[in-house]
Amino acid sequence: MNCNPYLLIIAFFVTVSLSYFFNMEVDLVGATSIFDKAVKYQYPENGQEGLESDIPVQNKTFIQSIDQGIANSINTGQRGLNSNNTTEVDTLVSDDNSLLANIFATDLLNRVYHSATLLEITAKLPQVRNVSFADILNQTLETHHGIPSNKDVEMRQLAHSIISKNGTADNLFEIFYLMPNGNMYMLEPHSIQGTLKENNYGFREYFQKAIQNNETYLGNAIITTASSGIREAVLATPVYSLEDNTTISGVWAGGIDFGMINHQLQSLDLIKENKRVVYVDGNGEKIADSDPSKSNTFESFNRLVSFKNAINGETGTAVESLKDGDSNTRAIISYKPVEAFHNTWIVLVMETLPSN
């Protein structure tokens, strides 16, 4: 019995989506009512479900796209089995890739919103808003790249809890707090803080945008200043002081681990289907790649018409030439923008065409 590969992909993302809700657990000391309300919605007691009106729009959209995707995939697969027309087969390839682009884009959007929501909720907690050891930062910044590991334990415990219990679902591998001038206050895991090569991050786009917009910002791909030198993207949200609730007292941020996203894409083994899925940031730089042989290779896709169309908010499919080593290959590329938190990332689903 043959199984439609697209149904397997859809089922995979249904499972991943559900994990966002059933893995969102954070141990919080003295959590505020806003966090309690969120947890009660995510994990209803006694089998009760949250109110539909409380369901975030992006989660409703994801569920609806899965339902539509299953129906479309079944219909597309059946038409492909019954067709001998080359033009129609090419059209079906385009339809299939567009379907996949929508599914991957919805999943990526769901991931980003889930991580950002977690940061926004915890940024309202007193453990984050009360920067207890700011007065010693001038004495410890150069030697510890922030406050020592035994200071502001409550904030560190909260950050560690987010990483340890939500890392798999959110892809957040580090949590840190920056002062209003960009100085590093603390970073968890502390082992990373100790290897930082910079003490001030006021030059980072994510910091500047979070301060300027007074809202959460999704950064583009960067190389971390830690000794590991890995590539990451940062979600940053402003933190307001306890005194007046209007003055920004810092920025609460989380680093997104591209390795986890790569692993997820590669587990689908899309190479067997002659497909490659790439996530790129707002500059066109690759974030994740379904091809294991290329996932560690830096690539920019900003010259593609597909990228230029998607960055302008368009969804569609194009036939373009791709650089593959020393040669060029033609490919059908379906593209879908992922617009979130004042930035746009893009999903590209590519399928190489046979050479003439």
Q: Which of 104-118, 136-150, 313-327 is the least confident region? A: 313-327
Q: Which of 48-62, 79-93, 276-290, 334-348 is the least confident region? A: 48-62
Domain annotation covers residue 233 = yes
Better pLDDT: 43 or 236: 236
Domain annotation covers residue 325 = no
Q: Looking at residues 107-132, what average pLDDT do you find?
A: 92
Q: Look at residue 57 in the predicted model and tell me its pLDDT.
A: 46
List pLDDT tens digits, range 128-187. 999 989 999 999 999 999 999 999 999 999 999 888 865 554 578 999 999 999 999 999
Q: Look at residue 245 in the predicted model and tell me its pLDDT.
A: 80
Q: Which of 9-23, 59-73, 138-152, 280-294 is the least confident region? A: 59-73
Mean pLDDT across the chain:
78
Q: Look at residue 13 in the predicted model and tell me its pLDDT.
A: 54
List pLDDT tens digits, range 241-269. 888 888 899 999 999 988 888 988 999 88
Closest alpha carbon to 130 in 245, 35, 216: 245
Q: Look at residue 217 in the predicted model and tell me its pLDDT.
A: 97
Tally the domains of the chain. Answer: 1
pLDDT band of 51, cuts 50, 70, 90:
very low
CATH number for 154: 3.30.450.20
Q: Look at residue 246 in the predicted model and tell me its pLDDT.
A: 84
Domain annotation covers residue 204 = yes
Domain annotation covers residue 231 = yes
Rounded-to-integer distance, Cα 249 and Cα 71, Å: 49
pLDDT at 324 over 50: yes
Domain annotation covers residue 194 = yes
Domain annotation covers residue 196 = yes
Q: Looking at residues 281-288, what average pLDDT do you find?
A: 95
Rounded-to-integer distance, Cα 102 and Cα 96, Å: 10
H helices present in the chain, as ranges: 5-22, 33-42, 57-82, 86-122, 126-129, 137-144, 153-170, 190-193, 205-213, 258-266, 305-311
Q: Look at residue 70 in the predicted model and tell me its pLDDT.
A: 35
Better pLDDT: 9 or 341: 341
pLDDT band of 119, cuts 50, 70, 90:
very high
Domain annotation covers residue 172 = yes
Beta-carbon-side half-sphere exposure of residue 41 (alpha carbons within 13 Å): 13
Q: Look at residue 290 in the predicted model and tell me its pLDDT.
A: 94
Peptide bond into 189 cis (omega under 30): yes
Domain annotation covers residue 179 = yes
Identify the DSSP state of 184: E
Domain with 210 in it? 132-259
pTM to 2 decimals? 0.76
